[in-house]
Amino acid sequence: MQKQKITQIPKPTRYQNAAIDYYMGITGSSYLHYGYWEPLPQPGEELNISRLRVAQKAYTEKLFSFIPEDVQNILDVGCGIGGNAVYLDERGFAVEGLAPDIIQQEKFIQNTKGKIPFHLTRFEDFQSSKKYDLILFSESSQYIAVDDLAQGAAGLLSRGGYLLIADMMRADAEYTEGIFSNCHVVSELKIALEKAGFSLIKTEDISHAIAPTIDLSIDNFRTFGLTTIKYIADVVKIAVPPIHAIGSWAFKRWLEKLIVEGLQAKKIFESHLCYEIQLWQLSK
Ligand SMILES: C[S@@+](CC[C@H](N)C(=O)[O-])C[C@H]1O[C@@H](n2cnc3c(N)ncnc32)[C@H](O)[C@@H]1O
């Protein structure tokens, strides 16, 4: 098992890890992805965390349906805390997980009962003489530059090996600033992968089936997040007025814009992004 010191993990990755840890705490699930809502909820139907967990299991089943029959071993890049890896292990694949986060590593080992190897590293830094049949990026492609992803995957796959990517992507290349702007532009990802020797085998746009998770997140944020922030602000205003004044200033300076944008996430997603599952094959 490859080890990496926490200090070697870059700051932006550590910020992302903090956000992922927060998401883990809210869902209590072993999956860190958006899920696949099928059937789609009817307008006005209640969305909740239990239903999200069902959708997350369905998403992993959906990913599984993309895996070609000749695949035996899989590198699960950005494996999170092991939900997908356990599912694949139970279906007979030899799986290895990889993620640059020590908290995820602990939870991954717990959730997989220590049976599945875990590499504590960024994909960009991962080196191995082993060749894999399939490399999975389940909502982790957006954290890795397209050329690093394409060339790194080509170097780790056996000839004719597969790359399975499922992620939010930018359909609109002009969308360059904002909460989802780290997602890859579909056309740029395609160019990088083709340049590295991959051909697209199968693709499916599942935007409609992940969108209820955005609705659920906004709903929860509005109900619990904003209400909690307001309650804390009210208490601080009564108890320590000067701290409240500094807090209000800091809120306006750094947080207000992010919150307004977060509440518009669904609109931003529908206008500029899509969610695709793509199966690529490396030339033989
Ligand atoms: C949204 S989570 C998805 C987790 C899991 N694949 C799933 O579907 O539940 C994103 C994952 O990508 C990982 N990640 C972020 N930057 C990475 C990098 N540079 N190399 C490898 N993994 C990375 C995170 O630590 C996390 O495990």
- How do beta strands 157-170 and 118-120 pair? unpaired
Residue 6 domain-assigned (yes or no): no
For residues 27 and 230, what is the distance between their CA atoms, to the nearest angstrom? Answer: 23
pLDDT at residue 10, as a whole number: 67
State how far the Cα of 2 lies from the Cα of 119, in Å rounded to an integer: 5
Q: Whose CA is nearest to atom 14 of ligand 1?
A: 78
> Does residue 130 sit in the same domain as residue 169?
yes
pLDDT at 26: 79
* 117 in the same domain as 223: no
Structural domain harbouring 129: 11-207+273-282
What is the per-residue pLDDT for 11?
Answer: 66
Tell me, yes or no, whether 35 and 144 share the same domain.
yes
Q: Tell me: do 106 and 243 sit in the same domain.
A: no
**HSE of 83 in the Cβ direction (CA atoms, 13 Å)?**
23
Same domain, 65 and 84: yes
Specify which residues 99 forms β-bridges with: 120
pLDDT at 2 (0 to 100)? 43
Site residues for ligand 1, CB cut-off 6 Å: 13, 16-17, 20, 31-33, 77-80, 83-84, 98-101, 104, 122-124, 138-140, 143-144
Q: Whose CA is nearest to atom 16 of ligand 1?
A: 143
Same domain, 152 and 255: no
- Of all atoms in ligand 1, which is nearest to the CA of residue 30? 9
Do 224 and 118 fall within a single domain? no
Amino acid 8: pLDDT: 63
How far is 195 from 204, CA to CA, in rounded Å?
Answer: 22
- Rounded to whole angstroms, the Cα distance separating 228 from 205 reads 36
Question: Per residue of the chain (284 residues), what is the pLDDT tens digit?
Answer: 444 455 566 666 676 777 777 778 878 899 999 999 999 999 889 999 999 999 999 999 999 999 999 999 999 999 999 999 999 999 999 999 999 999 899 999 999 999 999 999 999 999 999 999 999 999 999 999 999 999 999 999 999 999 999 999 999 999 998 889 999 999 999 999 999 999 999 999 999 999 999 999 888 888 888 888 888 988 889 999 999 889 888 888 888 888 888 889 999 999 999 999 999 999 98
Pocket mutation for ligand 1, best pick of 30, 143, 180, 275 (most atoms within 8 Å of C-beta):
143
For residue 141, being part of any structural domain is answered with yes
Task: Say what the pLDDT of residue 9 is.
Answer: 67
Question: Into how many domains does the chain fold?
Answer: 2
Q: Which atom of ligand 1 is nearest to the CA of 166?
A: 8
- Is residue 72 assigned to a domain? yes
Domain annotation covers residue 153 = yes
Q: Give the strand pairing for 132-138 and 157-170.
A: parallel
Nearest residue (by CA) to ligand 1, atom 4, is 80
pLDDT at 1: 41
Q: What is the DSSP string of 203-219?
A: EEE-HHHHHHHHHHHHH
The protein residue whose alpha carbon is closest to atom 23 in ligand 1 is 78
CA of 54 to the centre of ligand 1 (A): 21
What is the Å distance from ligand 1's center to 18 Cα? 12
